[in-house]
Amino acid sequence: MAQAVETMDGWYCLHDLRKINWGAWKAASTETRDAALAEFQSLLSNWEEIDEAKTGSNAVYSIIGHKADMIFMILRPTMKELNEAELKFNKSSLAAFTTQSYSYVSVVELSKYMVKEGENSEDNPGTQARLRPRLPKWEYICFYPMDKRRQGDENWYSLPMEDRRNLMYEHSLTGRKYAGRIRQIITGSMGFDDWEWSVTLFAKDAIDIKKLVYEMRFDEVSAKYGEFGAFYVGNILTKDTVPTFLHI
């Protein structure tokens, strides 16, 4: 049997993707829309306080294309708190004008492929910061789920540990070229959702997302063993820009 690699796990994560019923929103009275908007901005203010207190983190973006209109990425210390955050929005007035087009439940994850035997890297402050990240409020987001292939000779889970370690190290070198331009959050979802991992990329320049994903396609770990779901890309939404986004 191939040896399983240990993981370090941090905050629980929900990617909540919403479609807005623009017809119903437009047909609602000005008073109804104003009240829903004010309530939503109050919710965003509460999320900002949680972010500032470092007891969780949040990111809200508008999505381009037909798959969704908005994405909420929510991080919380426990699964219960994650559920409470989701329910808080579901019970809001704005939620009545939306449908959940996709959702993804996972936990922030770091593998121990590069950790030396006997080393307790989980206590490292830098590691803790990566397991409980404060999500960057950069201009662009890209989110997608993924699996490692399990077909015939291309079965990631039957590879020896050393082979997987080398492939992951090669993969990491590509990512390091984009340090400071791309922030990547990896979450694991085995037992939580239909895919094995999700990748969320934050960028200041949208073209950097395209270039990074393209270059990583040539890494053997992606070329031979990567399976990818739908991609969602969008622009940042803040408490102050939400009124313009929802304006009719």
Q: What is the mean pLDDT of the chain?
A: 95
User: How does pLDDT run across 117-154, given as a tens digit for each residue?
Assistant: 556 667 788 899 999 999 999 999 999 999 999 998 89
Active-site residues, by number, are 144
For the chain, which domains are there?
Answer: 7-246 (3.30.70.1030)
Integer CA distances (angstroms), 126 to 28, 123, 132, 133, in order:
48, 9, 10, 10
User: How does pLDDT run across 180-217, given as a tens digit for each residue?
Assistant: 999 999 999 999 999 999 999 999 999 999 999 999 99
Q: 5 or 178: whose pLDDT is higher?
A: 178
Band (pLDDT 50/70/90 cuts) for residue 112 is: confident
Q: Is the dihedral of CA 215, 218, 222, 226 positive or negative?
A: positive
Q: Using an 8 Å Cβ cutoff, are 141 and 71 in contact?
A: yes
Token output for 189: 């979802």
CA distance 99 to 22: 11
